[in-house]
Structure 1
Amino acid sequence: MNYRALVTDIEGTTTRISFVTEVLFPYAAEQLPEFIRQRSEQAEVAMQLKAVRQLMKQPEASLDAIIAQLQAWIAADEKITPLKALQGMIWRLGYQQGHFTGHLYPDAAEQLKAWQAKGVQLFVYSSGSVEAQQLLFRHSDFGDLTPLFSGYFDTRIGGKKEISSYAAILQHLQFPPSQVLFVSDVVAELDAASKLGIATTQLIRDGQAPGTHPVARDFYQIEV
């Protein structure tokens, strides 16, 4: 099958899970209090702090209360949009300052380049914010790979286990479901996409239990 578009997950798919859990998340958690206290008046930060207060149902919440709530969400690995946005801002500074580079599996970097060169449109769908996605690929171990991608999707389009999210992605892509391939390591995400007729492949890099979808051990095994 020749697909016109490929939508890829990041964590556990293009990127090792431990990069997020052992590098990005701890860095954001460590930097977050000072980052917020120093930049709470900046427009992009203030907008996210307002969103946090709304979610807390505490419109007058102090910065300390907001920081405590954000740290609790980080500890619980909650997919909260303003948290993801603030993490993205912190990671942007970290990347720019050279504190780390974005981990990519070599097979992912090589095959994404090959598929894009053959005319396949590439998209990312991750629970991390669009900015966080772009930062990882812009500052990757293999240089700036953002020119490869035609678009990015995050939790603003919906949760990754919700069928409606993939319906919205299809509406954006304007391709028939059968011409779109979604690649992820999470069975529940693939289940949601496949219910709309989207083709799927499950990446099994770290011993994940396979579901009912075609499986691949790396990007070289994916038929595009």
Structure 2
Amino acid sequence: MSDPSRLRLEEPTPEVVAIITDIEGTTSDIAFVHEVLFPYARAYLPDFVRAHADDPQITALLDEVREQARRPDADLDTVIAILDDWMAADRKATPLKALQGRVWRQGYLDGDFTGHVYDDAVAALQAWADDRRALYVYSSGSVAAQKLLFTYSDHGDLSGLFSGYFDTHVGPKKKTASYTAIAAELGEPPESLLFLSDVGDELDAARKAGLQTCWVARDDETHEKATIHEGHPIVTSFADIELI
């Protein structure tokens, strides 16, 4: 794969006051999510749900599952089967992500794994934070799961670098309205925000909302998609992003 030119965001591009980053495939290896986190959740989520089904917070999430599945009378075993089907399909359902986050929390606390974050992402995020640029995360994983990954990362506790987190409660990642809502919540002009992701439809939605975008293509397959898709600057590493 040929190295792309370094991305230089400078005049006449508006100053970037905040960076919003995706996690999976962007700050963190997609293999960590699919080969560590997802299998862990599938293995332990059923027992977790049964053990905490009377917890009001868990009960509310299970009711959300019933509502989204249009199975209002589903018993606990049926709800667990629905969740397993959703995990197998990698469905971005908000109650599923919240339940996965609760299971992963125990895994992090028990030291079963640490959150993978690329070296170049850590270095860039630290530099941007030192430069007083606000950092935010927007991922389909729950806010709780996002915080866990960066708190218990293999680089130590990185949570202090971030000013806030967004998940699908703000809206789907491929919808323009989600990015408009994020900009409004941050109180910043959309053009002053930079969104980093490895998914073209997400980047398209962010650009339509007025945000600056950058496609982080860490492997050959993603780089090929980015090249064909067009419309966004492409880098292979956070080290290639230079904010002037």
Question: One fold, TM greater than 0.5?
Answer: yes
1:219 paired with 2:238, answer yes
Q: What is aligned with 1:114? A: 127
Q: Residue 223 of structure 1: CA displacement? A: 2.2
In the superposition, the TM-score normalised over structure 2's length comes to: 0.90
| Equivalent-residue separation in structure 2 for 1:166 and 1:65 (angstroms) | 35
Structure 1 unmatched runs, 5+: none
User: Within the alignment, does 1:145 sit opposite 2:164 as a pair?
Assistant: no
Query: 5 Å matches for 1:38-77?
Result: 38-77=51-90
Amino acid at match of 2:132: G
Query: In the alignment, which residue of structure 2 is the partner of 1:29?
Result: 42
Deviation of 1:53 (Å): 1.6
Query: Given residue 233 of structure 2, which amino acid in structure 1 is its aligned partner?
Result: P
1:116 offset after TM fit, Å?
0.5
CA RMSD of aligned residues (A): 0.9
What is the percent sequence identity of the aligned residues? 52
Superposed CA offset, 1:191-218 (max 9, x none): 1111122111100101212132111110
5+ residue gaps, structure 2, are: 1-9
Shift of 1:16: 0.6
Out of 99, 110, 113, the position equivalent to 1:86 is 99
* Number of equivalences: 224
Counterpart CA distance in 2 for 1:121 and 1:112 is: 10
**2:209 maps to amino acid:** L
Matching of residue 194 in structure 1 with residue 207 in structure 2: yes
Letter in 2 for 1:213: H
Query: Aligned residue for 1:102?
Result: 115
Q: Which residue number in structure 2 is paired with residue 178 of structure 1?
A: 191
**Alpha-carbon displacement from aligned partner over 1:152-203 (angstroms, at most 9, x marks no partner):** 1101111111000000011011111221100001111111111122111100
Q: Name the SS for the 2:169 alignment partner.
A: helix
Return the TM-score normalized by structure 1.
0.97
